[in-house]
Amino acid sequence: MEIVLFILIAFVVIIFSSLKIVPQQQSWIVERLGRYHKTLQPGVNIILPFMDSVKYKHTLKETVLDVMEQAAITKDNVSVLLDGVLYVRIINPVDASYGIENPYYAVTQLAQTSMRSAIGKLSMDTTFEERDFLNTQIVNAINEAATTWGIQCMRYELKDIKPPATVVKAMETQVAAERQKRAEILNSEGKMQSMINIAEAKKREVVLASEAVMAEKANIAKGEGEAIQTVAVATAIGIERIASVIGQSGGQDAVSFKIAQEYVSAFKQIAQKGNTIVVPANVSDASSLIAQALGVFRSINTAPKEKK
């Protein structure tokens, strides 16, 4: 009875030892008699007891590795401290088991050396600006070297770049000087633009004033011209009407009377405005004055007829 119980227990132990349950996103490497045999996939797997053994267990999830802080020298011989984060994933469990002893440690060391090499290609001023370049360079270098390790670098991110304190102080001084320079340039440009605006305003003021004067003179000249033209037209119309009236009955007598009246009035005005006047010898004879005025009218009236 004891033998049967022993055999039953041994049988149960053998069955349980031959069953292997692999979790999701894991891969187990099985060796048979010390040699690679197969890779167990997630789920229930059966192996031969005492002959097969699970040698390596790998997770296929993306793993985050912290790259320790290290010193690196830039292209212009400035020592900086760098640290970063590495994201890797095993894509070939067999190569990860037999290609290298510790793939995660190897990738971390390779990331450090690649980081120093990439920093050596950049100057101190461009190191902070070229983070993407550094990350890409390190990822490419790791993937190129780790092709036989069964591991792939997904991305690399620089966490911090620490230059020496003296360099930090010099950079702060440079930034302050650059900002002061830009402030002075902006201030001078503002003053220059203000002076330009003032000069432009004065120029426009002078131009507008001259245009206003020119327009005023043009309007005055135009008004005077129109006035002269209106006076000339009115005079012409008056002369035409006078001429038409003169040709009528009694027109000559009316003109003679008007000329005599104006002639006498002219002498009256001369006597009122001046102290010294020159008058005809017979000024006391009003009839002679009227006769002289009528004589002037007749000479003017008969002159065109003689030309005809």
d(CA 228, CA 221): 10
CATH topology for 63-163?
Answer: Tetrahydropterin Synthase; Chain A (3.30.479)
Which letter does DSSP use for residue 41 in this model? P
| Residue 201 backbone phi and psi in degrees, to 5 | -65, -45
For the chain, give every residue range classified as CATH 3.30.479.30.
Answer: 63-163
Tokens (6 digits) for 307: 């030309």
pLDDT of amino acid 306:
45
pLDDT of amino acid 14:
73
d(CA 119, CA 75): 7
**CA angle (298, 299, 300) in 5-degree steps:** 90
d(CA 72, CA 163): 10
pLDDT of amino acid 253:
64
Tokens (6 digits) for 103: 């793939």
- pLDDT per residue, tens digit, the chain (308 aa), is 677 676 777 666 677 778 888 899 999 999 988 899 899 989 888 888 888 889 999 999 999 998 888 888 888 888 888 888 999 999 999 988 998 888 899 999 888 888 888 888 888 878 877 888 888 888 998 888 888 889 999 999 888 888 877 777 777 787 888 888 888 899 899 899 999 999 999 989 898 888 888 888 888 888 888 888 888 888 888 777 777 766 666 666 666 666 666 666 766 666 565 555 555 555 555 556 566 655 655 665 565 544 44
d(CA 251, CA 238): 15
Tokens (6 digits) for 67: 């790259």
